[in-house]
Structure 1
């Protein structure tokens, strides 16, 4: 999206010139799904699909927000001195949560601002549009008000917004990937310690493709919270015989030797996914570092199978996309990405096979499901930052 287009959109809505432009990426997770709230490892990277903002200062205490993605909502307002979650305020609740927590931690803002939002992350795609908006808001406020806030602290406030303001018990994966990303790299993040390593994503003969099921993600919040509580329950049972603070501390062998204490089958399967996925993520990062794409692809495939069988967060549409991908020539591996219950899958595909892959997968998917899906080539990006207007 061009700066000129964004500035023009701002002026059309607010009747004045925008002063500064910002960008916050979306993310894909190469492997390590539902491990972030279980003290495990994740392996995400940011992508060039994301959320843009144009900002100007106001003289009053109001924030005026407009999204080109939801034009029917018009300009929505909230007061800096009276911020509370309201369902009717829709997407602006993400802005409100970040603004409130920044004020609580770094002092009241002296005045409000106008903010024009325009994103190209498909709605409901599970590419982390909410974290993108949270970090975008945080960086905007930090920069325009000259606040001394580390990027990692904004990441933590983004997760707090998601958990406490919005009520979704997610881990830190999305916000960390969006805020701390480095172009041409994926991050191997230990969600227990927040130690991370930037691993080069050097794929000269391959492309990462995003396959969007274009399926609305139903019940994702309630099911997400349920999966987390099931893992916590399984952990409590394991703690009767093991000195551990998270499922991410277990090896596969330790889990297998002690899983009998969990009792309930569904809890065993949830915990098994968390433990095995964590180890898959570690091995996948090692494989990518050594250029062993074959092993990396196999681990991606195993991850999807586990998400389907043990964690039960895939749906007919995402399972179909992955199965179609597995059948195509030149495919290294494919899996669901994100929280699940719809959204997107990813595949690593030989560059010469990309065009045929897109054609065949989109055609077969529409024939089976009855509505089209979309396949995009993913390009990596840096984390949330201000854009130079020059």
Structure 2
């Protein structure tokens, strides 16, 4: 990234020099989808695509944010402004408003405003956590520029609170945790119920991760995402008639099988089965990773997509086309959808020397089947949000 681009645009818009620059990554999730809000395990990592920002202080109590991805749209709001922006052209500012408000709740030390120019290279609506990237970016601007002492895990929780309470999306902690806490060339094995975590080297040998974007935009708050959360909660309540559990992530496949009669509803049974089995797949996948058993890792990742298709029903024709065509290609270890679903992206783990042929062949199948092109990205695994 050429930082002169950020500095020059900041100076042109705000008529001052940028004091600091920041980067906040996006994320992919190797395995463990829709398990975070079910008290299960996830295995995400941060990627080199993300959100950049140039910062400069103001003397007043206003925050001015200019988005280079929104035709240099400039929005100004007062510190403490908690009014949700409903204008479709300016709704992006809600992530900045919400995160600022919740950080302010933790401290009274935000005594002046600031100017911020932001620009990102995350594909919009691709399911790579652009919203969490923004939330953690704002969190780091505030904690570092105002010297606030907020624990990194707490900062991730404030980002989740922004999604849940300000935006209205019932998401789990994974995205913010991955964006904020990630470590270069590692994935995070995170227990979303306890927030205990380990860093595991993402050693794929002569394979690489390819991100495949459907280029079908998705807006999780307007999709069936919240319905899936509700359905899992209903299934959990039924299991609690006989089991002392807090989440679906508290039980294994055998226990689920023995007590599934309590659910007695086809849709709820499928949703719960995915949550339970996906959690166990994630635990097995990290063991396979540690054992360098890439073949087993690949089978578990493929099984994740199958479960997301048949039991959780969040894939759709576009994601199924990407995953299904990827499975057919020579040199492809595995592929699955990532993120909330309903569009967005998938990942494939592919032999490095066959990556270009893979992208060409999968791209052609997708174009012929869907009618428009997919996009492919090779992203490095990087550290979490930080000052440049």
Q: Structure 2 length normalisation: TM-score?
A: 0.98
Q: CA-atom RMSD, angstroms?
A: 1.0
1:84 matched to 2:83? The reply is yes
Counterpart in 2 of 1:276?
Answer: 277
| Cα distance, 1:326 vs structure 2 | 0.2
Counterpart in 2 of 1:229?
Answer: 230
Deviation string for 1:102-121 (max 9, x for gaps)? 11111151110000000000
| Cα distance, 1:220 vs structure 2 | 5.2
Counterpart in 1 of 2:251?
Answer: 250
Contact 2:11–2:17 under 8 Å retained in 1: yes
Alignment of 1:39-54 (within 5 A): 39-54=39-54
Contact 1:220–1:341 under 8 Å retained in 2: no
**Secondary structure of the corresponding residue to residue 332 of structure 1:** strand
* Aligned counterparts of 1:141 and 1:235: Cα–Cα separation in 2: 38
Contact 2:109–2:146 under 8 Å retained in 1: no
Counterpart in 2 of 1:23?
Answer: 23
* Aligned counterparts of 1:158 and 1:216: Cα–Cα separation in 2: 22
**Secondary structure of the corresponding residue to residue 87 of structure 1:** coil
Deviation string for 1:157-188 (max 9, x for gaps)? 00000100111000000000000000100000
| Cα distance, 1:378 vs structure 2 | 2.3
Alignment of 1:1-390 (within 5 A): 1-71=1-71, 74-88=73-87, 89-217=90-218, 221-387=222-388
| Cα separation, partners in 2 of 1:317 and 1:220, compared to 1, 3 Å | farther
**Secondary structure of the corresponding residue to residue 69 of structure 2:** coil
* Aligned counterparts of 1:284 and 1:81: Cα–Cα separation in 2: 44
| Cα separation, partners in 2 of 1:37 and 1:290, compared to 1, 3 Å | same
Deviation string for 1:188-214 (max 9, x for gaps)? 000000000100011230100000000
**Secondary structure of the corresponding residue to residue 21 of structure 1:** strand
| Cα separation, partners in 2 of 1:62 and 1:385, compared to 1, 3 Å | same
* Aligned counterparts of 1:191 and 1:7: Cα–Cα separation in 2: 38
Contact 1:220–1:340 under 8 Å retained in 2: no
| Cα distance, 1:241 vs structure 2 | 0.8
* Aligned counterparts of 1:180 and 1:39: Cα–Cα separation in 2: 19
* Aligned counterparts of 1:339 and 1:231: Cα–Cα separation in 2: 15
* Aligned counterparts of 1:287 and 1:307: Cα–Cα separation in 2: 21
Contact 1:23–1:50 under 8 Å retained in 2: yes
Contact 1:61–1:81 under 8 Å retained in 2: no
* Aligned counterparts of 2:364 and 2:12: Cα–Cα separation in 1: 39
* Aligned counterparts of 1:293 and 1:12: Cα–Cα separation in 2: 50
* Aligned counterparts of 1:111 and 1:355: Cα–Cα separation in 2: 50
* Aligned counterparts of 1:372 and 1:86: Cα–Cα separation in 2: 33
| Cα separation, partners in 2 of 1:37 and 1:92, compared to 1, 3 Å | same
Contact 2:278–2:304 under 8 Å retained in 1: yes
* Aligned counterparts of 2:220 and 2:378: Cα–Cα separation in 1: 28
Structure 1 unaligned segments of length 5 or more: list them.
none
* Aligned counterparts of 1:215 and 1:347: Cα–Cα separation in 2: 18
Extract structure 1 runs of 4+ deviating beyond 6 A. Answer: none
Contact 1:61–1:111 under 8 Å retained in 2: yes
Contact 1:207–1:378 under 8 Å retained in 2: no
* Aligned counterparts of 2:317 and 2:219: Cα–Cα separation in 1: 13
* Aligned counterparts of 1:152 and 1:93: Cα–Cα separation in 2: 22
* Aligned counterparts of 1:141 and 1:187: Cα–Cα separation in 2: 25
| Cα distance, 1:368 vs structure 2 | 1.3
Deviation string for 1:133-179 (max 9, x for gaps)? 00000000111111111211110100000100111000000000000
Contact 2:63–2:79 under 8 Å retained in 1: yes
Contact 1:250–1:275 under 8 Å retained in 2: yes
| Cα distance, 1:222 vs structure 2 | 4.0
